Amino acid sequence: MAREIERKFLVVDDGWRSEAGPPVRYRQGYVFADEHVAVRVRTAGAAAFLTLKAEVTALVRDEFEYAIPLADAEAMLAGLCRGGLVEKVRYTLDRPGGHWTVDVFAGANDGLVVAEVELAAEADDPARPPWLGAEVTADPRYRNAALAARPFTSW
């Protein structure tokens, strides 16, 4: 089991692009999700995963992730997932103080751009780049499971 500690922010401009690694297309859906537990199916490029996440605190999740065949993931996305799918392109950034990603959403969440930083400890507070906007870690609307059920474009 892995423990994920992350903070989430809105992105206000494209200043991050000069630091970004290559893009990876993601599609994900949820077999089950409530406010504390989620069972997710995800494709990331040519890879696929089944993930279970359980909330520990607002910043911390226990995470169990398993690689699965891409064909199985595609079948699950087409037939088992509740609500809509989340589509996005993810970019990774090497910055001091944590592993950063920027997700540029598409489809029903088009227009939303979110940055996440994975931390070693809850108390960590890495330097914030100038392209970050408001922190939305505690806002449940920005969780991917919530975006599948109630997309950004419907707010």
- CA of residue 2 relative to chain centroid, distance: 16
Catalytic annotation present for 30: yes
Q: Can you list the positions of beta strands (E) in the chain?
A: 2-11, 24-33, 37-44, 47-55, 60-67, 82-95, 98-106, 113-118, 132-135
From 30, 66, 91, 142, active-site residue: 30
- Both structure tokens of 41: 């199916």
Question: Other C-beta atoms within 10 Å of 70: how many?
Answer: 14
Question: Mind telling me the catalytic residues?
Answer: 30
